[in-house]
A and B are shown apart, each in its own frame.
Chain A
Amino acid sequence: MGKSLRVAYGEALAKLGEKNEKVVVFDADLAHATQTCLFQAKYPERHFNMGIAEANMMCAAAGFAHTGFIPFVSTFALFGAGRAFEQIRNSICYTNCNVKFGFSHSGLCVGEDGGSHQSIEDIALMRELPNMTILVPCDPAETEKAVMAAAEIDGPVYIRVARPVCEDITTMDTPFTPGKANVMKEGTDVCLIACGLMIPVALAAAEKLEAEGISTAVVNMHTIKPIDRDIILKMNETCKAIVTVEEHSVIGGLGSAVAEVLAGNAGAKFGMVGIQDKFGKSGKPNELFEAYGLSADNVAATAKGLL
């Protein structure tokens, strides 16, 4: 019945803790905000609160990974990917260290806290790093699957966790393979490629386009890295236009990743919906989505503009 993805994340960690005793969890005084407290309640001795010191938390986790543990590190996306970027780069990705990042409060959906806390660049930062895998789940079931999949990958994995309550879009039976996108709806005129909280927006946009007789495909690109090149190139051949939709800056995120695949390949016209090189601000998540163009109307209009 839908729930906040951070709650789904915390519950999944607690489940994973039972399956895999090598899993340990680190938090930076945000265990209740990130919901790692659900793991902590079950396994207090395996949960380390490192205080408000994110850079140190990354290296501490690396120390654990170097001795065979599987640390999951949580904080807000901005303070993880942003403040501790270089610790993630040099102490973790550089040696392909087996650390997982579950950063919550990503994107504009942080809402009222405002631009200082709305991470719109975390995917770009993490995507730059060799060895990194990036997963952006869209609902509770996908969040649980992302956590379980991350534990099976040998190397760093970033799971982008959103804060709001999300309706169920997928089920536990929906396949989830990192690096392999899910086609949620087939179509031949337009292909909308989205991730995370923008999946429902893309599905609503597809409905509007279909109502106008425009056949629209929707791809859930839950893995930003490694990106599913095959599906992008296939849609480039079968559709007349591709539009990416992301709750992130259009510089360096999903749209950029898709553009990098499309570059040099003639085919569909291409557009990006996302945050246009601006910072966020306070407001309710839905108001912000509307204000920044992350709406079904704007996605549909962008697609039509390309046809």
Chain B
Amino acid sequence: MQYDKKAKELRAEILKMLYACQSGHPGGSLSCVEMLMALYYEVMKIDPKNPADPDRDRLVLSKGHACPALYAVLADLGYFPKEDLADLRQINSHLQGHPDCTKTPGVDMNTGSLGQGASLGMGLALAAKYAKKDYRVYTVLGDGECQEGLVWEAAMAAAHYKLDNLTFLLDHNGLQIDGSNDEVMSLGDVVKKFDAFGFSCIKVDGHDIRAIVEALEAPVSGKPKFICCETVKGKGVSFMEGQFGWHGNPMNKEQFEQALSEQEV
């Protein structure tokens, strides 16, 4: 696969979706595109024709507000028609403002209330261990989200139960709604923190798919894995990159056309 071309296609879909509904979250959707590509196109054992396969790998998008990126990937893989993307956040659409596993084929877990995905992913991984199933669970966290105590409750349990079938991937773009993480509530050395909680930790460029895949495939035994993906919020759109103001702002026509033109291959 030509990663660059696919990434631009997916970003174009995200921008079209968000422009159409005039709401939603561009910054954090654009920052996790390569993370989701590494998971869905290279690593996860999935079958878009059988989304409910009990033995499939699971993806929990704990930073649920980034679901436009997830929806773009799922549509690209054929879980549902690409035309559905135009109806994001519209009444009667199966594409909710935050992921809903009861409505959208391919969405493995409902998320959106920050912190809960970390815990739900841990629960899925613990259930797999208990049921002696081989599937793996991947949870994508936001960095602002790591201010939620529940993330650390889940981390403690993941290490306690030695969940080496669980991987937390952090979309570390450094920004949240009110400003930078450091301005709002510093995470300190988040890699050291997860290391101290008993995770096997790796730090990668979160826009380098090969590096993410390598980190995902690195063997680990007896402990959960934490991959800190260094990313840029608003990645791929010049005027959004590194701007916390684009966390949840709608684009006007001019901004949309500019952003879309930057995705041309």
Contacts and interface: CB of A to CB of B under 8 A. Distances in A.
The yes or no verdict on A and B being binding partners is yes
B179 interface: no
Interface in A40-86: 45-46, 48, 50-51, 53, 55-56, 58-64, 66-69, 86
A64 B126 contact: yes
B119 A55 contact: yes
Interface string B159-192: 0100000000000000000000000000000000
Contact of A95 (B102, B115, B119, B157): B102
Contacts of A62: 120, 123
Contacts of A94: 110
B161 to A, nearest CB: 8
Chain A interface helix/strand/loop/mixed: helix
A24 interface: yes
A87 interface: yes
Interface residues of A, number: 27
Given A56-B122, A63-B122, A67-B124, A90 B157 contact: no
B166 to A, nearest CB: 10
Interface residues of B, number: 30
B143 interface: no
A87 B119 contact: yes
A188 to B, nearest CB: 47
A59 to B, nearest CB: 3
B103 to A, nearest CB: 9
Interface string B114-136: 01100111111111101101000
A64 B101 CA distance: 15
Contact of B154 (A59, A66, A67): A59
Interface string A111-149: 000000000000000000000000000000000000000
A302 interface: no
A55 B112 contact: no
Nearest to A59: B119
B50 interface: no
A91 B124 contact: no
B156 interface: yes
Contacts of B126: 48, 60, 63-64
Contact of B123 (A53, A61, A86, A90): A61
Contact of B119 (A24, A45, A56): A56
B194 to A, nearest CB: 16
Interface of B: 54, 100-102, 109-110, 112-113, 115-116, 119-128, 130-131, 133, 149-150, 153-154, 156-157, 160
Interface of A: 24, 45-46, 48, 50-51, 53, 55-56, 58-64, 66-69, 86-87, 90-91, 94-96
Identify the 6 closest CB pairs spanning chains A and B, nearest first: A63-B123, A59-B119, A56-B153, A60-B123, A63-B124, A53-B153
